[in-house]
Structure 1
Amino acid sequence: MVAYPSLNHIDVGALIAAAGGDPWNVYASLESGDAGQISELARAFYAAGACTDETWNEFNAATERFHESWNRENGEHPIDDAAEVQRAKTQLFVQAEQLPQIGIDLQNIAANLAEAQRMSSFNIDSLNDHLVQLDGLIGAALAADMNISGLEETAIAKTTASLGAIEIFRDSYAAKLQEALTDLRHKHGYDPAAIDDVDGDGVPGDEQRGQSATEHYDTNQRAKDEELVNAPGEMTQDKADAAARLRDFGTVNDPAAAPEARRLAGERLDDFRMANFMGPLPKDPVLGGDARTRAQQRLDMQRQLGSGRIHLGDGLFHDVGPMTPDQATQTLDDGEQFARVTATRQAFFALTRDGMSEEGALKTLSNLASNAGPVLSGAQAYGWAIPDNRHNAPTDLLSASDAKTLQKLASRAGTVGNLFQLGVAGAEWFQGGENRNEEAGAAVGGVFGGVGAAWATAALAGSVTGPWTTAAIVATAVYFASKGGNAVGSDIGRRIDSAG
């Protein structure tokens, strides 16, 4: 919640308009993060792994930085640390030797967030103190019938300066956060969705979206669903869906329900809200699509997993056994996390295999994943990436050779706007072949196991032939995770070849 100063003579709304932005809102977005929760999760990962003197030194340094800036209690979004570590090992296939490095990256995120919050807090407190003083001076000047324009200009200048400073703290933290997320996904195979609610990036996580979606459902849809469910007649799919939403609404508002059950029920209500959202939405920089297409696909897969049959397209099905609503939702969540990891790794592989430096590849991935980079289209020359074209910020620059690699990949695929497309552009599969999916499935299966093969081969086929949606890909990937190996990969690829 945004906390504005209490002023008698200065209009905060007019002040914000004159300053060109709201420093209190920017500060609030940073303050919504909980560095303490991230630090606790970091400790859990570090403790679960095989530690060395080197990792201890790195972790200890990050922990010291965190404690220098953090002075708060844990917040409102507790993370089940043990369950998250277990999920990383069993659902995301993170290896034991990678756990300490994940802990180090998470502890650095916690330290960076705590530092940004401390500096922003000092800045906003100073601004509030100045405005209170100026407000008093304006009151005295008005009582004496004196001109207050100079005092008003000072208030605007103070607010503008504070806005600029806090935006620098936020943007610096956001850049470091994105670098850490790219590092976690690329190097360690871990997608840290567990910290989405507490990372202070201004983007709501699952729990926050679920709470908002529940309120939206109560206001806009609950009465309609109750009327439909209570209407006479047979149980149609629409009526069953309405009854399921009402159950989810009850679960979210039941204080006796397990936290995990409330979270998953809130996710389903959020999927319903976003599936019916009207208006433009930002694109997903990793997998493509937007929140509306993602939600529509998730709702469809929720039904399929509930029935126990996944439709692969062209009359092909996989029987997985009926899942409960919570099992299906968690399956989709786990699969999406793995898909993000795989997309990041494949994009990195595509860039470096075609000649880009590792530093340039990580910079490109970080820029694209944060939507800071451009949408790369066709064989266009990328001025943002070429050192002798300085119309963009220096931090966006790549070397000339790295920029040429990026240009080559984009021209090969036609359009590259996200990490998944970048991976597709660099795949040997792209060159075609009679059994290209079967071959790709076997190759990727040997590297990532069955879940990677299922995701990669299905995604590659879907990018051209269209029978696969992202939701189908990730759900099927999780299902095949237990089988592993290149045999599963080639089997999935063979099925896609026959379907395409």
Structure 2
Amino acid sequence: MLTYPSLTHIDIDALIAEAGGDPWQIYATLEAGDPGQISELARAFYEAGACAEETKNEFDAATERFLRSWNRENGEHPINDSAEVHRAQTQLWVQVEQLPNIGIDLQNIAADLAETQRMGSFTIDNLDKDLVQLDGLIGAALDADMDTSGLEDRAVDKTIASLGAMQIFRDTYAAKLQAALTDLRLKHGYDPAAIDDVDGDGIPGDEQRGQSATEHYDANQRAADEALVNAPGEMTQDKADATARLRDFATVNDPNATPDARRLAGERLDDFRMANFDARLPVDPVLGGDARTRAQKRLDMQRQLESGRVHLGDGIYHDVGALTPDQATETLNNGEQTARVIATKKAYIALIGAGMSEDGAKQVITDLANNTGRAGTVAQHYGDAVPQGKHALATGLSPDDAKVLAKYAGKLVKVTDAIQLGVAYQDWRNGGSNEDFGRSVGTVAGGAAGSYGAALVAGSFLGPVGTAAVGLGGLIVLGAVGGELGEGIGGAFDPKPTAAGGGSW
């Protein structure tokens, strides 16, 4: 919660303007995260797997670090831990032996967030005490008709110092979070969307966006939808869409609906809001596109999945069986998470195949993912560092790694959504063969260039052979793409089931 100290003589707005930023806002963003919820999810993953002594020691160390900083406050976004572990194994294809390692990474995220919150709380508490004291001194000086400029300058200096500290805390945590997310996707095949609402990164998760979208729908669209639905005439697509939105609005506000039902209904309302959002939006650093194009494509795929027929491009349709609205939304979510894992892994493999070190490849992926909307600038920065070499070291990349990235940084092709990849994947998981899956993916990849999913599918599966994937954020350099992908791609997903229903890449 954003709170400011109660001051009589110091104007907080003027103070923030003089300081050049708001340290209280940064703290409120971090404090909105819930390390306790992340820790509970971490323990659920850890306890669901077969734990060796080595992983036990790592998990215990992360837990001890978390407990030293956790304030034990209850969060507002509880995670259904057992359901998330089950979903990771059955729908995201995470191997059972990876579950403890996922728990360790999540517990380290919880510890990093708790430590950041503790340092932020200390900084803001001290700032508030200093400002209250200075406010009192200013009041006394005014009563004595004395000059207060020196005291006011001290208030600004204190705020600037606290702002600088909060920015360091935030940026350090953000870097650690992105590195952990990269590890989860690269090493363990898991995209932790479940913690989006509680990771304290300042970016709203599904539940938070759904709540905001519901309020926006009520104020701006509900009356128009009600008028359209109640108007005489045949059932058009617009009328059907309005009916679905009214149903979702009722679900979000139904106290008897399950938490999952309310969350999924809110996500669909958020898709509608963002599909019609009229402003410039940042690019998704992993899948490309922005929130508007993503929402537009999700709405289209939602309709297709509910109808049971998915358009794969070039007039080709694939029958998947009609899904309920919630099943369709979950399929889209799972498809996106699967695509993020695939994109991360294949970009990493492609960078190494192009000659980059493993550490350098991981850093580039993490760096680009941590610079939403500025990936091209980041790549160019790496490229500019090459001629002298010394600046490459400042980025953390070796000169050799920087040269590898610079070789491809100028050949940028924006990557579009990969929801259709997720649809094909889900269909295969529900009983289709590897060849059927490969054929579906091949159809997507070989379709028109404007078909969303084509670029990412190609960049994901071709790897360094025919494709140079230089990073995320839309920086995928495509080689020849066509129907030759076909059934051969299916081999990349040859499952090796485990007793818990998992598999391996």
TM-score range with shorter-chain normalisation?
A: 0.7 to 0.9
| Separation (CA, whole Å) in 2 of partners of 1:262 and 1:62 | 33
Which residues in structure 2 correspond to 1:386-397 (within 5 Å)? 388-390=389-391, 394=394, 396-397=395-396
| Alignment deviations for residues 342-367 of structure 1 (CA, whole Å, 9 cap, x no partner) | 00000001011121100000000001
Matched, 1:65 2:76: no
Which residues in structure 2 correspond to 1:74-85 (within 5 Å)? 74-85=74-85
Aligned residues: 449
Structure 1 pair 147/238, CA: closer, same or farther in 2 (3 Å)?
A: same
**Greater Cα offset, 378-387 or 296-305:** 378-387
Shift of 1:384: 4.5
2:289 and 2:416 in contact (8 A); partners too: no
| Alignment deviations for residues 447-479 of structure 1 (CA, whole Å, 9 cap, x no partner) | x967985786466446x7223448998xxx9xx
Which residues in structure 2 correspond to 1:337-352 (within 5 Å)? 337-352=337-352
Report the counterpart of residue 501 of structure 2 in structure 1: none
Shift of 1:89: 0.5
Structure 1 pair 342/370, CA: closer, same or farther in 2 (3 Å)?
A: same
Shift of 1:142: 1.4
Report the counterpart of residue 490 of structure 1 in structure 2: 486
1:458 and 1:468 in contact (8 A); partners too: no
Report the counterpart of residue 402 of structure 1 in structure 2: 401
1:374 and 1:417 in contact (8 A); partners too: no
Report the counterpart of residue 43 of structure 1 in structure 2: 43
Amino acid corresponding to residue 65 of structure 1 in structure 2: R
Structure 1 pair 169/457, CA: closer, same or farther in 2 (3 Å)?
A: farther
Instruction: Say which SS state the counterpart of residue 296 (structure 1) adopts.
Output: helix
Shift of 1:41: 0.3
Amino acid corresponding to residue 412 of structure 2 in structure 1: T
2:113 and 2:199 in contact (8 A); partners too: yes
Instruction: Say which SS state the counterpart of residue 317 (structure 1) adopts.
Output: strand
Query: Relative to total residues, which structure has the larger helix share, 1 or 2?
Result: 1
2:261 and 2:326 in contact (8 A); partners too: yes
2:343 and 2:456 in contact (8 A); partners too: no
Instruction: Say which SS state the counterpart of residue 170 (structure 2) adopts.
Output: helix
Structure 1 pair 400/449, CA: closer, same or farther in 2 (3 Å)?
A: farther
The structure with higher relative contact order (CA 8 Å, sep 6+) is: 2
Report the counterpart of residue 474 of structure 2 in structure 1: none
Instruction: Say which SS state the counterpart of residue 79 (structure 1) adopts.
Output: coil
Unmatched segments (≥5 aa) in structure 2: 419-432, 462-484, 491-505
Amino acid corresponding to residue 389 of structure 2 in structure 1: D
2:439 and 2:487 in contact (8 A); partners too: no
Shift of 1:76: 0.4
Shift of 1:409: 3.5
| Separation (CA, whole Å) in 2 of partners of 1:346 and 1:294 | 21
Instruction: Say which SS state the counterpart of residue 382 (structure 1) adopts.
Output: helix
| Separation (CA, whole Å) in 2 of partners of 1:451 and 1:376 | 39
Report the counterpart of residue 106 of structure 1 in structure 2: 106
Amino acid corresponding to residue 375 of structure 1 in structure 2: G
Report the counterpart of residue 450 of structure 2 in structure 1: 466
| Separation (CA, whole Å) in 1 of partners of 2:38 and 2:379 | 40
Report the counterpart of residue 256 of structure 1 in structure 2: 256
Instruction: Say which SS state the counterpart of residue 261 (structure 2) adopts.
Output: helix
Which residues in structure 2 correspond to 1:28-427 (within 5 Å)? 28-371=28-371, 374-375=375-376, 382-384=383-385, 388-390=389-391, 394=394, 396-410=395-409, 414-415=411-412
| Separation (CA, whole Å) in 2 of partners of 1:34 and 1:377 | 30
| Separation (CA, whole Å) in 1 of partners of 2:311 and 2:403 | 41
1:377 and 1:415 in contact (8 A); partners too: no
Unmatched segments (≥5 aa) in structure 1: 422-447, 478-488, 495-500
| Alignment deviations for residues 138-193 of structure 1 (CA, whole Å, 9 cap, x no partner) | 11111221111111111101011000001101100000000000000011000000
| Alignment deviations for residues 101-121 of structure 1 (CA, whole Å, 9 cap, x no partner) | 000000000000000000000
Query: Scaled by the length of structure 2, what TM-score is found?
Result: 0.83
Amino acid corresponding to residue 51 of structure 2 in structure 1: C
Shift of 1:376: 6.6
